[in-house]
Amino acid sequence: MKIEQQYFENLLEEGSEEFELIFRSLFKEKYENLYSLLDDTDAFNEPMICAAFSTPIHIPVEQMVLGFLEPLPSKIDVVSNKHGVVHIPKLGYFYTNEPCESLEIRIKDNNSFAIFKSDKEVELISFKEEVYINDTDIEICRSEDESIIQFFPDQTENIQLESGLEKSVMHLNNAYHLIKKHTPFYAEWLNYTMRRIVLFTSPQLNSFASICTLNNAYINLNNERVSDIFFLEEITHQCGHALFYPMSIDRDKLFIMDYTTPMSHFSGIETDDRDLINAFYSFFPQYTGNYIFDVILDHEENLDEDSRLELIGRYAFRMYKYGLGIYQYQEYSDQILSEYGKEMFAIFREGYEKLYEKRKELFDSLDIKDQVYVFDLEKFKSKNLQKTI
């Protein structure tokens, strides 16, 4: 299968530039003096800036952009999160014993820092630099900031970002390395677009991406067997959504009717709570992610047996869901999609058909229909081990 790389790359570049212009304009209108200091920086792709214009924020905007300034100012007002941590993008994390407090960070000549509360110095327990996926500008979040707090508004759940990072960073790097090795164009897309990955643990919320915090992806580790292949799936899924937001910036262009119409309006399946656009958004991560799975399955020689089986099982389950979505949308596409939308959908449909046809015998032989949201490798092995030899 030959993927439509240039088609989507053009959309990504055009949409990303348009989103940046939108946030530049919004920022300049509201913070004109500060804007002049940031004009030549990448600050307007910072996810917290996007959050600042889509949801009530709890921290000063200066805290969001301080790390983009050169030279650093001598002091800045900040607000700590519920753990007493102050995150300043591009700079790092300041750990204090002052949760949910208005503080002041003073920056000394030698780039050392002091924390003050009402002009009284408080203890800086530690300072930790940001952690990035190897060879990228994609940060792995250490502690809650404005980009994730909005999704947990009651602030009572411990979502364990720091421990999630510690147990996952090696696997996340390995998964990105697999993508870069086998599909370098997709690694370039990720590094061009993504700014932060949040690894959290919650029984309330699945992994997700959100247009309210562009360039971010949120990966839930709850009940997951953390592995290289798990992160390969989550990167291609959740980051795939984040990539598609700028690609589909002109959402109205895709449809001939209200894209917030529930899919159940057409299918009659009352439990299907997706709307037209959310159902459509599922196709790009499937199209590109399943292609990546297919290439790695063909060419990666260094997978251990469990990784190979997990790759096959997750790929088969993804293809099962991909097919269900394609056939459902195909049935109603004339009532839903514009000619432009049909053109894009045809790419997604053809991608499914080619990937399925290539491994039809394998996919048809596997028993994966009792898999649920959290993929169960042991269940897959118990039913399919002999079929994957």
Give which of 106, 243, 233, 254 is closest to 186, Cα–Cα: 243
Q: Average model confidence (pLDDT) for the chain?
A: 93
Domains identified in the chain, total number? 2
Give residue-wise pLDDT tens across range 127-136: 999 999 999 9
In the chain, % of residues over pLDDT 90:
83
Q: What is the pLDDT of residue 308?
A: 96
The CA distance from 45 to 87, in Å, is 17
Average pLDDT over residues 272-284: 91
Indicate if 69 and 143 belong to the same structural domain: no
Indicate if 149 and 123 belong to the same structural domain: no
Indicate if 242 and 275 belong to the same structural domain: yes
Indicate if 232 and 303 belong to the same structural domain: yes
Q: What is the pLDDT of residue 265?
A: 82
The CA distance from 193 to 132, in Å, is 14
Q: Is pLDDT larger for residue 73 or for residue 199?
A: 199
Find the domain containing 43 and state its range: 22-130
3-state SS record for 14-73 = HHHHHHHHHHHHHHHHHCHHHHHHHCCCCHHHCHHHHHHCCCCCCCCHHHHHHHHCCCCC
Q: Is the pLDDT of residue 272 over 80?
A: no
Give which of 268, 246, 240 is closest to 332, Cα–Cα: 268
Q: What is the pLDDT of residue 79?
A: 96
Task: Say if 2 falls within a structural domain.
Answer: no
Rg (CA), the chain: 22
Token couple for 32: 């004109």
Give residue-wise pLDDT tens across range 294-325: 999 999 999 999 999 999 999 999 999 999 99
Confidence bin at 389 (pLDDT 50/70/90): low
Q: Is the pLDDT of residue 370 over 70?
A: yes
At 82, which amino acid appears? K
Q: What is the pLDDT of residue 153?
A: 77
Q: What is the pLDDT of residue 338?
A: 97
Q: What is the DSSP string of 67-100?
A: GG-SSPPSEEEEE--TTSEEEETTTEEEEES-TT
Confidence bin at 365 (pLDDT 50/70/90): very high
Q: Is the pLDDT of residue 41 over 90?
A: yes
Q: Which residue has the tokens 């100012």?
A: 73
Indicate if 222 and 294 belong to the same structural domain: yes
**The dihedral formed by the CA atoms of 332, 335, 338 and 342, expressed in degrees to the nearest 10:** 20
Q: What is the pLDDT of residue 4?
A: 97
Q: Is the pLDDT of residue 20 over 90?
A: yes
Point out the least confidently predicted range of 40-49, 216-225, 227-236, 368-377: 368-377
Average pLDDT over residues 17-41: 95
Indicate if 221 and 327 belong to the same structural domain: yes
Q: What is the pLDDT of residue 374?
A: 86
Indicate if 121 and 153 belong to the same structural domain: no
Task: Say if 4 falls within a structural domain.
Answer: no
Token couple for 269: 């399946």
Task: Say if 102 falls within a structural domain.
Answer: yes
Confidence bin at 11 (pLDDT 50/70/90): very high
Average pLDDT over residues 209-223: 95
Q: Is the pLDDT of residue 200 over 70?
A: yes
Q: Domain end: 81, 105, 130, which one?
A: 130
Q: What is the pLDDT of residue 360?
A: 96
Indicate if 120 and 33 belong to the same structural domain: yes
Neighbours of 187 (CB within 10 A): 21
Task: Say if 384 falls within a structural domain.
Answer: no
3-state secondary structure of 284: helix
Q: What is the pLDDT of residue 202?
A: 93
Average pLDDT over residues 322-350: 95
Q: Is the pLDDT of residue 109 over 80?
A: no
Q: What is the pLDDT of residue 264?
A: 84
The CA distance from 159 to 10, in Å, is 37
Task: Say if 268 falls within a structural domain.
Answer: yes
Task: Say if 14 falls within a structural domain.
Answer: no
Indicate if 37 and 109 belong to the same structural domain: yes
Q: Which residue has the tokens 């500008």?
A: 137
Indicate if 177 and 315 belong to the same structural domain: yes
Q: Is the pLDDT of residue 44 over 80?
A: yes
Average pLDDT over residues 147-165: 88
Task: Say if 16 falls within a structural domain.
Answer: no
* Helix (H), strand (E) at residue 142: none
Beta bridge partners, 124, equal: 96
Indicate if 248 and 287 belong to the same structural domain: yes
Token couple for 12: 């990504």
Confidence bin at 16 (pLDDT 50/70/90): very high
Q: What is the pLDDT of residue 110?
A: 64
Token couple for 362: 């394998």
The CA distance from 191 to 208, in Å, is 19
Alpha helices in the chain (DSSP H): 5-30, 32-38, 47-52, 61-65, 146-149, 161-182, 184-193, 228-234, 240-247, 264-267, 276-281, 283-299, 305-336, 339-358, 360-365, 377-384
At 221, which amino acid appears? L
Task: Say if 7 falls within a structural domain.
Answer: no
Q: Domain end: 104, 130, 156, which one?
A: 130
Indicate if 206 and 330 belong to the same structural domain: yes
Q: What is the pLDDT of residue 246?
A: 98
